[in-house]
Amino acid sequence: MIEFIEEIAFEAGRILSAHFRNIKSSDIKEKSKNEYVTMVDIKAEKLLRRRIQEKFPTHTIIGEEEGGIFNKHGFEWIIDPLDGTHNFMHGFPMFCVSIALAEDGIIKYGVIYDPIHEEMFKAEKGQGAFLNKKKISISKTNDLSRFFLATGYPFRAKPYLELYLEAFKNLFLKTAGMRRAGSAALDLCYTACGRFDAFWEMKLKIWDIAAGALIIEEAGGKVSGFGKNKNFMETGCIIGSNGIFHEELQNILETTFIEIDL
Ligand code: IPD
Ligand code: CA
Ligand code: CA
């Protein structure tokens, strides 16, 4: 199974790299305010759906561009054909293909492929996490004041902007640095392999996080939600970390978010 997922992630990644820095404005559409889709997102999702349907005709597919609902029943594929569309459109080389496969609501496989840096991150539940065949593990940073964090702005959740900024400030003052690279799936992978010590973001979608969350856990890290509802697969509000200061990070965020139904 994992080889098949890697194979299709690679094929979709080839579509992304073939069009990178070579996309016309007529190939870009604004889905809603500040949210874009390109013909490349659509083409890559079509390829993934076709490949999965040919091999597993009874499986369900949930994908960003054609939709679908996560029912936590049977085999469900959760795909983001291009995570980091905004970066892609601007020629900024941080984007990827993200594919997860769940069985009865549990994520069993996660594969994330960055075709520009040729990095294939993958995990199978209980089998560890890998980057291009090499086992990966989370960072060993054990001093919160040295933590190197990643985040994403809540551009889809503008009503939360003030709260986000308050939480950002609280974390910023207690840690060493914070990056916004523009691909939540890669932020999770970078945390899994120790480049970041932790990542947090609000109001993501299931296809942004399903594969990356498993990759962090299999790399020895911790993933959780924050706020009243801690189920990050439902709220899209997530912290992934090396585990060492996970509760502290969660507490810092919850000084802002505990009363909020995210
Ligand atoms: C986006 C990226 C980004 C995150 C957004 C996501 P997309 O995914 O993961 O880092 O901040 O919330 O929507 O739209 O490029 O697939
Ligand atoms: Ca995404
Ligand atoms: Ca996407």
CATH number of the domain enclosing 234: 3.40.190.80
pLDDT at 258 over 80: no
Could you tell me if 124 and 15 lie in one domain?
A: yes
Q: What is the pLDDT of residue 108?
A: 98
For every residue of 67-113, DSSP letters joined together read B----SSSEEEEEEEEE-HHHHHTT-S--EEEEEEEETTEEEEEEEE
Q: How confident is the model at residue 104 (pLDDT cuts 50, 70, 90)?
A: very high
Our CA angle for 1, 103, 236, nearest 5°, is: 110
For every residue of 192-240, DSSP letters joined together read HTTSSSEEEESS--HHHHHHHHHHHHHTT-EEE--SS---HHHH--EEE
Q: How confident is the model at residue 156 (pLDDT cuts 50, 70, 90)?
A: confident
Nearest listed ligand to the Cα of residue 85: 1
What ligand 1 atom has the least distance to the C-alpha of 185?
A: 9
Q: What is the pLDDT of residue 256?
A: 87
Q: How confident is the model at residue 142 (pLDDT cuts 50, 70, 90)?
A: very high
Q: What is the pLDDT of residue 213?
A: 98
Q: What is the pLDDT of residue 32?
A: 86
Q: What is the pLDDT of residue 76?
A: 98
Q: Which domain holds residue 94?
A: 2-135
Could you tell me if 112 and 9 lie in one domain?
A: yes
Could you tell me if 157 and 119 lie in one domain?
A: no
Place of tokens 């706020």: 227
Mutation choice for ligand 1 from 183, 190, 205, 238, CB with most ligand atoms inside 8 A: 183
- The DSSP bridge partners found for residue 106 are 103
What ligand 1 atom has the least distance to the C-alpha of 187?
A: 10
pLDDT at 33 over 90: no
Last residue of a domain, one of 135, 160, 176: 135
Q: What is the pLDDT of residue 228?
A: 84
Entry field: residues in the chain: 262
Could you tell me if 131 and 15 lie in one domain?
A: yes
Last residue of a domain, one of 114, 135, 156: 135
pLDDT at 261 over 80: no
Name the DSSP class of 175.
Answer: S
Could you tell me if 89 and 108 lie in one domain?
A: yes
Last residue of a domain, one of 135, 170, 189: 135
Residues with beta carbon < 5 A to ion ligand 3? 64, 80, 82
Mutation choice for ligand 1 from 86, 208, 232, 238, CB with most ligand atoms inside 8 A: 208
What confidence tens digit (pLDDT) does each residue in 203-252 have? Answer: 999 999 999 999 999 999 999 999 888 899 999 999 999 999 999 999 99
What ligand 1 atom has the least distance to the C-alpha of 181?
A: 10
What ligand 1 atom has the least distance to the C-alpha of 88?
A: 15
Within a domain: 262: no
pLDDT at 132 over 90: yes
Could you tell me if 69 and 89 lie in one domain?
A: yes
Q: Whose CA is nearest to atom 15 of ligand 1?
A: 84
Could you tell me if 152 and 194 lie in one domain?
A: yes
Q: How confident is the model at residue 160 (pLDDT cuts 50, 70, 90)?
A: confident
Q: Rounded to the nearest whole angstrom, what is the distance from the C-alpha of residue 161 to the centroid of ligand 1?
A: 16
Could you tell me if 7 and 107 lie in one domain?
A: yes
Pocket of ligand 1 (CB under 6 A): 64, 80, 83-86, 152, 156, 182-184, 201, 204, 208
pLDDT at 183 over 80: yes
Could you tell me if 94 and 163 lie in one domain?
A: no
